[in-house]
Structure 1
């Protein structure tokens, strides 16, 4: 197999940034979901869209419940250490805002964020940023920046727990710090933390499974791969949804013709533990051109529900893709489109998803 597409998402739930090459870290790609928009309510929300997204009068914003976030495009300029957000409404003029990829946190107000019951300290971005987003959306929001902080991995998503047969899945401890050794490459629990990505550092999907989704749509219609919010897209799997059973993959950068000197310094192999399947929601139905829920044949979720509800821990959601975490000593190494990938572990049975407050 080969890597065919790579994506990162500086602000959670906004549009993707395609990459040709990127480094890998224990917490995901650099700059991936380090920011998240938060709606500021006047008092506590009377009927929050998702209770676990609410902290007082603040509500985490995701494209599942705020499809208008699809109208914000993102691009990265590493030479300036910035990224640009462009608001592109269907019936109005576009406007853009430039934001530093790694803002200085000292002058920023600290805040508590809890996403899917996983807590972290974050920072409220400056008023000029919050005002810009509020004016675009027509209601009060703020942009939260995670900074150097991380969210704990709950349930049985961590490779440490997966390797232990899920034995710790009922006793996740969000307050545990990084003093307890991990079973994976000596990592600590703190080092296994994640960004504002939902539950894992990486999401891996295959072109073969994507083509199966295409086959369910009207003739001439193809599914937009970015609606599945992947980080790594692979081509060359033996069959659609073969990845349901993958336990880990190994990315081989040795065969690249460029950067030979770097290859000699690095091992060239990056292992990604694939711990759980990804249950899907209505976010895959969003019409990216209008920022509204899709209708009619656009209901991809319903089409997948017919035969893809295959995870006992997520029995009401169709499965598409695998959640993953880097394992071993590959941090800082680069991967690129065209890199070869092999399946290094195959599970005998599908895994069963567990995360407090999610799934079934």
Structure 2
């Protein structure tokens, strides 16, 4: 999966090329809150409507810009869709302004202010998004300027087949996030168990953030699904024998004989509590259930973990649906003994 605009809806792909910074077009664009001078995230109330913004990749090899990214608003018929160049040529970029100095996870970043592929009375992409969200924002596209991996990730770059180490641009922490369908099924089962009163609510002490202690939405006990999109993975692996078996993977090889390193678990914020189908935030789930049994990592003892940060060893390759995944190296990933 890729998420062309950070915090917006994702796109299922049958195949995608990647480089050392992740899948092509993944988090290539981002919405910046001008007042705060930082990324606008759906994890926050002011940006929650972003999850219902749907980008569509439309490739056109005959175009100097490679096609367009069409952006639609299915929940807001009054909001016009717009298109921006998919892979802008140098000539196209020469007419775009650059916006610098906005903050992403403590780093000063820059981007090109994305312009529409055609003039419109509806306004620029940034103006349309500002009207939809209700605050002034800019739609920016990344520049070649990289960011280092999250410094909290214990990572040895020596196996990499490229110089300069692993970097990212607009992703939070690493080029890819990997998780398994077995882990998702287990998470959903535990959410249901808590909604039915079969799994006690976690203590507030030592939790970041503190769980909501009110009764959970009854729909979780029966029909409500925990969709994988809530966790924003790029690579989803089926056939793993045990839930969270990927915790112990250190290196995998995919179908085209390319290697990936898995240096650390991914500690989670409140983003997974946002229902990607409705654009609303659940005050409890899955956070409350996951905090009960997935506070497992000493690097983030107050957060629950789901998924693995993943870094490519080779500088480029292709990942396709159905590719076999081989675990080349694994070791028991220590877990916290005090789950609190």
TM superposition score category, shorter chain reference: 0.7 to 0.9
Residue of structure 2 equivalent to 1:136:
132
In the alignment, does 2:145 pair up with 1:149? yes
Residue of structure 1 equivalent to 2:22:
28
RMSD: 2.1
Residue of structure 2 equivalent to 1:309:
295
Residue of structure 2 equivalent to 1:273:
261
In the alignment, does 2:338 pair up with 1:343? no
Residue of structure 1 equivalent to 2:84:
99
Give the Cα–Cα distance (whole angstroms) in 2 for the partners of residues 305 and 10 of structure 1. 29
Residues 316 and 251 of structure 1, relative CA distance in 2, 3 Å threshold: same
Give the TM-score normalised by structure 2. Answer: 0.79
Residue of structure 1 equivalent to 2:42:
63
Deviation at 1:148, TM superposition (A): 2.3
Give the Cα–Cα distance (whole angstroms) in 1 for the partners of residues 39 and 113 of structure 2. 13
Give the Cα–Cα distance (whole angstroms) in 1 for the partners of residues 235 and 276 of structure 2. 21
Give the TM-score normalised by structure 1. Answer: 0.75
Consecutive unaligned residues in structure 1, runs of 5 or more: 1-6, 42-56, 164-181, 253-267, 353-360
Give the Cα–Cα distance (whole angstroms) in 1 for the partners of residues 51 and 150 of structure 2. 28
In the alignment, does 2:12 pair up with 1:18? yes
Deviation at 1:118, TM superposition (A): 3.0
Consecutive unaligned residues in structure 2, runs of 5 or more: 61-65, 116-122, 193-220
For residues 304-337 of structure 1, the C-alpha deviation after alignment (integer angstroms, 9 at most, x for no partner) is 00010001111111110001110035x1x32211
Residues 336 and 183 of structure 1, relative CA distance in 2, 3 Å threshold: same
Residue of structure 2 equivalent to 1:213:
187
For residues 90-126 of structure 1, the C-alpha deviation after alignment (integer angstroms, 9 at most, x for no partner) is 6x54631111122333222222333112333322224
Deviation at 1:186, TM superposition (A): 4.7
Residue of structure 1 equivalent to 2:71:
85
Deviation at 1:13, TM superposition (A): 0.5
Residue of structure 1 equivalent to 2:211:
none
SS across alignment from 2:19 = coil
Deviation at 1:61, TM superposition (A): 0.8
Structure number with greater CO (CA < 8 Å, separation at least 6) is: 1
Give the Cα–Cα distance (whole angstroms) in 1 for the partners of residues 335 and 30 of structure 2. 29
